[in-house]
Structures are given as structure tokens and as C-alpha cells.
Structure 1
């Protein structure tokens, strides 16, 4: 247990666009913050670097560094800059190139992440979920196997399960320690099968989530995603996590409980996406605590969690 002098320890696990939203608010809270980030991405600049340099995926790590940093905005703009000129750099992100270079200079991907985090004044700790070059695979309901994180949603088939190669991939040791010592473990919103579950199914990470004394809370997606979670309810999202990780891995689910405007519904309907239905009674029957609230922002043309609302809610879970 923490003493009065200790800051609450919050660990956020995930990837994609949802994780940085949480971290951007949490970094300003009086907490000990750790981010455990997926390295299974294989699209765009990240995919090219993985093939050419044989390194873990840097893209999600880059976005997390940007979210947790404390430097001038112009440096973040530089870090996130993507080259568009038609040459060898086309499509590459400056941050990805810096991570690749730092990994080469230091001789190790994590050490590169650590040094770049220090240079960007990151408020908290960032660990890749594994130091290995992982590839994600999905077994579909019809029995076919799709390989590659970026290819899985494009199949437009119901996903039965996802798994990683190498099969016995080793988690980053500090990631296990962070989960074991946490007061709250937050599973971030994001693409359920391609950004979130790849972190949770790594050997020993799944066991750590089941055994930790911390509350494990999943911030559920607000909208479904074509090719991954079409027609999924909140309980379906939670059940997918339980099916992959095991019983007793999820204590609470955080859900948005306000209506989505017709205009926004129509915009998402073009992408064959819809609001995630809150089947409250089913979640309660699963033994999962349901934490509800108005946790999205209306400032953008897409639905996003509100940085301040969600970070304040998460912080409240460790100071009750």
C-alpha cells in the first residue's frame, strides 16, 4: 500500500489514437504515471522501419512521447512532422526516424525510448510492452488467418481471436513490475483487436493483469469500428478482453452514457460505425463495475474522449 507521501500509481496500457488522449490529461495529475505501449503496428512509416531496420514498431510510442512531453509546441510539431515530398523520406514521421536513430545510437530500442523521453521532458515513464519485433495475426470466424495489424480490419470479417508471433515473446520486465505495483491499471480506448489486445495477450502480461491488486478499468470505445467491432456492445468489448486474457482480468468499465447527435451518427454511418450500446445489466451480471459519465468532447468533427473529463474521472478512482 502507498504511504501518505507516495503518489498514486496509474498504469495505462494501449496504443492507437485513444491512449494519448488519456495521457495528455493524466500527466498533469499528482500521480506516478506509466504508459505501456503496443509495438505490433505495421502500417505506414512504422511498417517500413520495421522491415528495413528490424525494430519494434515506433509509431504508437512516438504519439505517447508527444502526449506526455513538456516542451515547446514547435518541438512537438517537429517531432510529429510527416514528410510528404516524393523521395525516400516520403511518408516517414520525424519522430519515428528519431526513435530509430536513438535506438541505433544507444544499441537498444527501450534505451532509445528512454533517452528521447528525457530529451522531450516526458512527465512519467514510457515502456514498450515488449522489446521484440512482434507480428499480430487474427483467426477469423470462418477459420481464415489474416497476418499484419494493418491488414486485419481490411478483411471485413468477424474476428474470433488474435495472437502474436513469436509465440513466446517476452514482455518488457518493467512492464510487469509496473502492473504489479499499480494502484490503477487503465486499458485505453482504441482499436480493440489491433491496438489494445496485442498488449494484453503477451505472456506474463495477461497473468499480471489477473493477479494485480490494482483495480483494472477499461475505457470503452464510444463508437464501433468497421472490420473489428461492428455491432459490438460495451459488454462485447469487455467479453473480448476476458476471452483473450482470462477471468478476473477486468474490474470496471468506463462508458460514455450521453446520446450522440444525429449529425455525428450520420457522419459515422458512412464508415459503417455506430454508437456502442451500453448493455448495463449484462456487464453487471459479468461482475464488472460500470462507471458512467459524459466523457467525450464536441470540439472535433470526430468523436473523441475529452482529455480533462476522462483524466479527472480516472484520477478520482485512486483518491477515493
Structure 2
């Protein structure tokens, strides 16, 4: 082969098959960035939420909570600005005050569909999304948390307040009923993935609940995909105060299996002092990356500049996070001799 360097652009249609597992705003935020690199996206989303507008619809209609699903659908949508605005709209008055139109739309589709996952698929078609959004299970599940002092509480929305009251760490969470059946499409997506991404998101209420669904952990363990845990940038008030990166990893392994993943992507960007001080008032801080402890758990800690500050809140930057994940996949998974991935112009370069 000549020494001349050649390159070719990788169309999104031929991008890696990425499966992201989690919930909350962290997952949807990451999906916004990933869809710029690949169309082969699957989001597997927790359905343990019981608070806010989702909780109201769950209680009133007996359906799985739509909120986290809707956020992911919106993140992957390719619609006109008016439709996006409509999906985001929240009612301000009357009995619907605080409720999202997107939640109501998904609830209506659920009413005319044979199953909840069929309703999600229909909404995906309406919004012309990139990829797929899959509830991890369609079972009616509640989340229970147990604390170091022996106290426990049932209900995802109650865990924050209970932890603040008990002032001790969470030792275990579980689903009620235990071991619900995973959506077959979710298991298939994991089996077919090139890269599996856990997080970012709330440790005990967004990430771990997915791993408690029957079949999910086994599918992840059997997969040959690159497996990456995206650590949160900050610790979370009412959930992970005082936790390090290794504490997060250890909690995931305790609820799933040792060595479930071998890579942890953490932030290296500094946080402005004023923003850090405001978080400190709430008992939250920049996540400490204890590399030696992570290594002892069999996990390589990779630090990259993936954080940003938005309206005074620390968030993962969608574009930066997606770029680093795709770059990690290219570095660790591409097996073309002499090839590299140049994220600056989204091309594989082959020498």
C-alpha cells in the first residue's frame, strides 16, 4: 500500500449500531449528539418513573410512564419546528397544568394501540425519528430503595426525599415485582450492537433499574460490543452525595454483574468556581475520578472534555460527548489495518 493518505466519509446510515441504556435528561441529551454520527441508534429506557406528569398518567390510565420515552423521542425527532414546539408544550392552567402535550399524545396513541411499545413505535413514525426508542419492559413496575440504616421506600419519586431524611447511603434498589420480562426488541438490539452505552443519568433511578429487568444483564454480558459507562459530571443531591466514579461503578456491578463493562468515560473539563459553589450548597460536587479504584474493579477510566454549563447547570455537551464516544468506538473497535478515525471531519482515514 502506498504511503499516500486516503480517506472516505462514513455516512450516518452506515454508522455504528449504538445502544444507549438509561433514562432521564442525561440519556436524551446524549442521543441528540449521537444522531449526528449514526442513524443506527437504539435507546432502551427505564419505565420506573412515578412522579410529575408521567406519574399522573400512569395512575389515571394504568399505562407505563411516558416522560423519559417522550424525551428520547423528541431528541431523535426530525420534524418541523412547529411539531417540536408542540411536543414540548406544557399546559399552564386547569386540570392539565404542568402536563406535557407530548405525554398526552403518547397516552392517546397507547389508547389506540395493542401494546405500549406499539404506541411508542407509532409516535416514532409521526416524529420521523432517527433510530428507535424502546421501553426496557412493558410491565407495571415500581422502584424500591433500601438504605444503610435499614429504612426503605417504594416509589421512584420518593427516593430523593427519603434519602435526605435518612441521611445515609442507598444500599440497594429493586423492582416490584422483581425480574419483569424485558421487551424482546430491547434484547435483540443489545445482541446486535457495536457499542453499548450505559448512562449518563441518575445512578439508582435511571441506570440501574434497566439492569434489574430479566434478561438485560445476560444480553449485555454475552454481547461482543464495546461497553462504555458514561459517568455523571457531578454527584447528585438526594442520590449519590459523596460518591466517586468507582462508587458508581461498584453500585452498578453489585446490581448486575462484575465486569459488566470495561470502560468508563468521565469528564475532564473544569467547572467554574461560582457554579461549583452553588452545587456545594446542595451537597453536590464535581465527580472525583479515583482511577486506581476503578482499575481495581477492572474498569479503565478515560477522561475527556465533555461537560458544559447551561443556565447555571452542569451538563454533558451533546456534541462533545457523542464525538468522544464515536472516537472511542473507532479506536477500540475498528479493525482495519492502518486506519484511524478523524473526528474533525467525521472520516475514517486509511493509509
Asked if Structure 1 and Structure 2 have the same fold, meaning a TM-score greater than 0.5 normalized by the shorter chain, the answer is yes
Match of 1:79 in 2: 87
Q: Which has the larger radius of gyration?
A: 2
Q: Is the 8 A contact 1:69 1:122 kept in 2?
A: yes
Q: Deviation of residue 276 (structure 1)?
A: 0.7
Q: Deviation of residue 60 (structure 1)?
A: 0.1
Question: Aligned partners of 1:200 and 1:145: how far apart in 2?
Answer: 20
Q: Is the 8 A contact 1:218 1:253 kept in 2?
A: yes
- The secondary structure found in structure 2 opposite 1:273 is coil
Which runs of structure 2 are paired with 1:1-320 in the superposition (5 Å)?
7-85=15-93, 87-155=94-162, 156=164, 157-320=168-331
What do the CA deviations read for 1:234-286 (whole angstroms, capped 9, x no partner)?
Answer: 11111110110111211110001233221111111222211110101111122
Task: Identify unmatched segments of 5+ residues in structure 1.
Answer: none
Q: Is the 8 A contact 2:259 2:297 kept in 1?
A: no
Q: Deviation of residue 62 (structure 1)?
A: 0.6
- The secondary structure found in structure 2 opposite 1:177 is helix
Match of 2:335 in 1: none
- The secondary structure found in structure 2 opposite 1:29 is coil
Question: Aligned partners of 1:311 and 1:247: how far apart in 2?
Answer: 26
Q: In structure 2, do the counterparts of structure 1 residues 231 and 64 end up closer, same or farther at CA, with 3 Å as the change threshold?
A: same
Q: Is the 8 A contact 2:54 2:67 kept in 1?
A: yes
Q: TM-score, normalised by structure 1?
A: 0.95
Q: Deviation of residue 196 (structure 1)?
A: 1.2
What do the CA deviations read for 1:71-119 (whole angstroms, capped 9, x no partner)?
Answer: 122211211211110x221221111111110011112111110011111
Q: Deviation of residue 168 (structure 1)?
A: 3.1
Question: Aligned partners of 1:238 and 1:159: how far apart in 2?
Answer: 14
Question: Aligned partners of 2:170 and 2:310: how far apart in 1?
Answer: 32
Q: Is the 8 A contact 2:226 2:329 kept in 1?
A: no
Q: CA RMSD in A?
A: 1.5
Q: Deviation of residue 311 (structure 1)?
A: 0.5
What do the CA deviations read for 1:136-195 (whole angstroms, capped 9, x no partner)?
Answer: 000111111111001001112410010001113111001111111111100111111011
Q: Deviation of residue 6 (structure 1)?
A: 5.3
Question: Aligned partners of 1:26 and 1:186: how far apart in 2?
Answer: 11
Q: Is the 8 A contact 1:210 1:247 kept in 2?
A: no
Moved more, 309-318 or 113-122: 309-318
Task: Identify unmatched segments of 5+ residues in structure 2.
Answer: 1-10, 332-351
Moved more, 291-300 or 169-178: 291-300
Question: Aligned partners of 1:319 and 1:250: how far apart in 2?
Answer: 17
Question: Aligned partners of 1:224 and 1:55: how far apart in 2?
Answer: 31
Poorly superposed stretches of 4+, deviation over 4 Å = none
Question: Aligned partners of 1:73 and 1:300: how far apart in 2?
Answer: 22
Question: Aligned partners of 1:6 and 1:84: how far apart in 2?
Answer: 43
